[in-house]
Amino acid sequence: MSPPRTDHDSRRREVSEAVWRVLAEHGFQGLTLRAVAAALGASTGLVTHYFAGKRELIAHALDILEARTAHRPRHAAPAPGLAALRTHLLNILPLTPDAAAMNRIWVGSWDVALSDPDLFAAQRLRYARIRADLRESIQEAQRRGELPDGDADRLAATVLSFTHGLVVQALFDPEGFPAASQTELVDGFLAALAR
């Protein structure tokens, strides 16, 4: 007799939480079936019931990361257009300890995604979605006269490149790039775009 579905779903959530704990503490390099089993207090055999190997484990970890990113607390945009664009950027940046931890994991995921064609494709789609969100705010800012007319796709790529560059600098030099400095840099960047 197979276990009830709720037991299976509950166990899968426990396994996912263990994956997240290992990922948060050790990054993608430390994410192994054995490490997840140890975090779960279970056998490696139980973990292999859910993941056939490291690749499936990493894909699941990226899905968890994306879901946690989507459901984390975010600032609400006070208005459409440039204000919404600013809010998008602030929601990406490591302005809090939790946001810094999330960003460290995302940056750590780049290496594994670059080395696996399927993960690469999934990551590419994630970044395309981010640029699309930015593009919507850019186009609205252009309609409102807050940003000059121009190629919104190219500007979205520029904005995301600036933001990710700031993420990396803040992660490597948190004292040099505290939350207030990151916010000032965003405001200066957006003011320069608006000119």
Residue 70 CA: distances (Å) to CA of 31, 63, 92, 129, 153: 22, 11, 11, 12, 22
Instruction: Give the CATH class of 5-68.
Output: mainly alpha
Percent of all residues in the chain with a pLDDT value above 70, rounded to a whole number = 97
Structure token pair of residue 159: 């904005």
Structure token pair of residue 158: 């520029």
pLDDT digits 0-9 by tens, 73-97: 888 899 999 999 999 999 999 999 9
Residue 129 has pLDDT above 90, yes or no: yes
Coil, strand or helix at 96: coil
pLDDT band at 134 (very low <50, low <70, confident <90, very high): very high
Q: Are 141 and 150 in contact (CB under 8 A)?
A: no
pLDDT for res 150: 96
Percent of all residues in the chain with a pLDDT value above 90, rounded to a whole number = 60
Average pLDDT, the chain: 91
Distance, in Å, from the CA atom of 21 to the CA atom of 164, rounded to the nearest integer, reads: 24
Residue ranges of domains in the chain: 5-68, 75-194
Distance, in Å, from the CA atom of 56 to the CA atom of 154, rounded to the nearest integer, reads: 34
Fold classified for 75-194: Tetracycline Repressor; domain 2 (1.10.357)
Distance, in Å, from the CA atom of 101 to the CA atom of 154, rounded to the nearest integer, reads: 29
Distance, in Å, from the CA atom of 76 to the CA atom of 122, rounded to the nearest integer, reads: 27
Distance, in Å, from the CA atom of 146 to the CA atom of 72, rounded to the nearest integer, reads: 29
Who contacts 119 (Cβ-Cβ below 8 Å, separation ≥6)? 55, 58, 59, 62, 112, 113
Residue 55 has pLDDT above 70, yes or no: yes
pLDDT band at 59 (very low <50, low <70, confident <90, very high): confident
**What is the pTM assigned to this prediction?**
0.83
Place of tokens 């190629």: 151
Mean predicted confidence (pLDDT) in 139-160: 98
